[in-house]
Structure 1
Amino acid sequence: MDNQLYLYFVFNCVAETENISHAAKLLYVSQPAVSKAITNLEENLKQTLFIRSSRGVKLTDEGQLLYKYTKEAFEILKKGEDLMMHMKELGVGHLKIGVSSTLCKYILLPYLNRFLKAYPHIKITIESQSTIHTLKQLEKGTLDIGLVAKPANQKLYKFLPVDEIEDIFVATKDYLDNLRLREMDEDIFATANIMLLDEENISRIYINNYFKENNLTPKHILEVSSMDLLIEFAKTGLGVACVIKEFVHEELKKGQLIQIPLKKPVNKREVGFCYNHNSYLSNSMTKFIDFITNG
């Protein structure tokens, strides 16, 4: 079929010029090569496509019918080429990003705001979901890039760090007063209502490992589906919430929440953009990666 397409291309050029030598010059091939291509096509179709004369060639009725369709086909291809080049010049493209609702609100949105000002013709699709789901989609190739905490599998993913986050425990002053927890000698995890993200969340898995490593066993756990809800529940005095310190900066500054000191603080984590090593880097992806790296 590839060779047949070339034969149609040669036929279309000869039909337009009505001259084999002129067509040969346009195609940058020899005149015998053009003549042979036309002969091969006629033999394949078992039809005479041109009437030859000393003045050039003229389409037969069958040739005119075929030319009607080849002309339309190659014009469509040319339009496709032109549109593709135009889109490239404008920077038109599409980028699919996976991110948790928390990281989307606090980290991704500022990046997108600046990126879209630089590349307004790139369409962005955001899939708000857990980090685990985002990593699975990156592995399958159904997402271009994700904003996640640094994944353990560095062989599969390319990770571009953009920030560090710190997990802390917070509560209102009234809640701590009621529990008489100003003296931190007591085990807060044994007495307080500990509010955590659900079990499938990467942050929860990280905190569970922290509990295990430090022999801590929370007795009263309230699971919440999002970081925003954890923050709001903590502000209403429902308990002690495990939150990202960088996301409650204002609440800590205003005294709405108090950070609870720990004997051993939770280690900070890296957050960044992640994509599959084997993924195809489109123009949009290349621009976004360059923006992250150098922007």
Structure 2
Amino acid sequence: MNQQLSSYKVFYTVANTGNISHAAKQLYISQPAISRTIQRLEQSLGVILFSRNSRGVQLTSEGLLLYNHVKSAFDTLELGEKQLQRVSDLGIGQIHIGVSTTLCKYVLLPYLKKFIEKFPHVNITIECQSTNQTLELIEQQKIDVALIGKPSSLKGLDFIPIGEIEDIFVATKNYLHFLNERETINQSTKKQKNFFETATLMLLDKNNMTRQYIDDYFIKNQIKTNNILEVTSMDLLIEFANIGLGIACVIKEFVKKDLQSGHLIEIPLNIPIHKREIGFAYLNQNKLTHSLEQFISSLTKI
């Protein structure tokens, strides 16, 4: 398109009014300026767009052909403006959230429930990946905000903490009785290390940030493990622990009912695992959309 949009706006207005002076009043520009614009447009296109008569101007056949296309374009623009206004009036928007499956089920859902009740017209899209993958997505700007365990480096992210989680080891009474039959377990550091070596230890896969955190704990405390069963989700770890398959490393907050009922027993540790902070993160160099501003603002009110 060789012509500026303003030239077509002049053409469109003159065609609608059929009169240069009326078009000049609508556009708040002089009649000579309108005449010059139409003349330049005709010269550029190599056709005559208007014929003059006693009442004003009338589209030629070439002008009518162009007008139909210009009208369609301006109608589309007007529709877009109306839709944007509706979005603004109703609070319609979109938020793309990245989160691990575990945090989605146990942490994100209560936040979403409150937010959707207040802003029902905002469309929510959820991308369930590991925390490491979620961090990659937010750096690539493929998601707007992420619910994650706080990483060691935020790398240009703003982070809003919402709580802490605690990693613990759990098993059923029957499984612990089975281990007791094989060796005597006491609270000495040496015996505890042997305990982890003897048990079937169920952990998340190595691509998971929680697994990496636990591996670091084992290395720092010189704890050896021999029989590791890798599982892809926290829910499966909890289920496998509940059927007595082994000792599972789980998040304490997610097995409260099992611990309270006594079905699962927390394994005492001589050196506790430090709690981890969780929260919502987003790129701090980006201008926030109105919907994302509303979501972030709502976090402090839940």
Show the counterpart of 1:44: 44
Deviation at 1:54, TM superposition (A): 5.7
Matches within 5 A, 1:12-23: 12-23=12-23
Give the direction of change, closer, same or farther, for the CA distance of 1:66–1:3 in structure 2 (3 Å limit). closer
1:173: Cα distance to partner? 2.0
User: CA 1:193–1:184 in structure 2 vs 1: closer, same or farther (change >3 Å)?
Assistant: farther
Describe the superposition over 1:116-154 as per-residue Cα deviations: whole angstroms up to 9, x where unpaired.
111212222222221111111111111222211112332
Using the TM superposition, give the Cα deviation of residue 230 of structure 1 relative to its aligned residue in structure 2, in angstroms: 0.9
Q: Single out whichever of 252-261 and 285-294 deviates more from structure 2.
A: 285-294
CA distance in 2, matches of 1:30, 1:251: 80
Cα distance, 1:3 vs structure 2: 4.8
1:56 and 1:237 mapped to 2: Cα distance? Answer: 91
CA–CA separation in structure 2 for the residues paired with 1:217 and 1:208: 10
Structure 2 residue aligned with 1:30: 30
| Corresponding residue of 1:183 | 186
Q: How far has the Cα of 1:219 moved from its partner?
A: 2.2
Q: Which AA in structure 1 matches 2:223?
A: L
Of residues 247, 255, 258, the one that matches 2:265 is 258
Q: Which amino acid in 2 is paired with 1:102?
A: T
Task: Report the equivalent of 2:252.
Answer: 245
Q: In structure 1, the residue corresponding to 2:254 is in which secondary structure?
A: helix
CA RMSD of aligned residues (A): 1.8
Q: Deviations over 1:92-122 (max 9, x none)?
A: 2222222111111100111111111112122
Equivalenced residue count is 295
The equivalent of 2:228 in structure 1 is 221
SS in 1 for 2:255: helix
Gaps of 5+ in 2: none
What is the rounded CA distance, in whole Å, between the counterparts of 2:97 and 2:73 in structure 1? 36
Tell whether the 8 Å contact from 2:166 to 2:251 is kept in structure 1 after alignment: yes
Cα distance in 2 for residues equivalent to 1:114 and 1:69: 47
C-alpha distance in 2 between matches for 1:158 and 1:222 = 35
Structure 1 CA distance for aligned equivalents of residues 160 and 167 of structure 2: 21
Determine the C-alpha separation between the residues in 2 that align with 1:2 and 1:84: 28
Does the Cα contact within 8 Å between 1:4 and 1:41 map onto a contact in 2?
Answer: no
The CA distance in 2 between the partners of 1:82 and 1:219, in whole Å, is 65
Runs of 4+ in structure 1 displaced over 3 angstroms? 52-55
* TM-score between the two structures when normalised by the length of structure 1: 0.93
Match of 2:85 in 1: 85
User: Quick check: 1:120 aligned with 2:127?
Assistant: no
Contact 2:187 2:270 in 1 (8 A): no
Whichever residue aligns with residue 64 of structure 1, its letter is L
Query: Are the structure 2 counterparts of residues 72 and 83 from structure 1 closer, same or farther at C-alpha, using a change threshold of 3 Å?
Result: same
Deviation, structure 1 residue 279 = 4.0
* 1:11 is aligned to 2:11: yes
User: What is the CA–CA distance in structure 2 between the aligned matches of 1:137 and 1:24, rounded to whole Å?
Assistant: 51
Q: Which amino acid aligns with 1:227?
A: M
Q: CA deviation at 1:182?
A: 5.7
Structure 2 Cα separation of the partners of residues 279 and 205 of structure 1? 30
Structure 1, unpaired ranges of 5+? none
1:276 paired to 2:279: no
Quote the residue 2:298 is aligned against: 291
Seen in structure 2, the aligned counterparts of structure 1 residues 240 and 2 have a Cα distance that, compared at 3 Å, is farther
Mean CA deviation greater in 151-160 or 98-107: 151-160
Secondary structure of the equivalent of 1:271? strand
Q: Which residue matches 1:68?
A: 68
Matched residue, 1:154: 154
Would the aligned equivalents of 1:141 and 1:279 in 2 still touch at CA under 8 Å? no
Asked whether the 8 Å contact 1:13–1:23 carries over to 2, the reply is yes
Q: Residue in 1 aligned with 2:145?
A: 145
**Percent identical:** 52
Cα distance change of structure 1 residues 128 and 165 upon mapping to structure 2, 3 Å threshold: same
TM-score normalized by the length of structure 2: 0.91
Quote how far apart the aligned CAs of 1:82 are: 0.5
- Structure-1 separation of matches of 2:74 and 2:150: 48
**For 2:174 and 2:74, how far apart are their aligned partners in 1?**
76
> Following TM superposition, by how much is the alpha carbon of 1:56 offset from its aligned partner in structure 2, in angstroms?
2.4
Contact 1:97 1:127 in 2 (8 A): yes
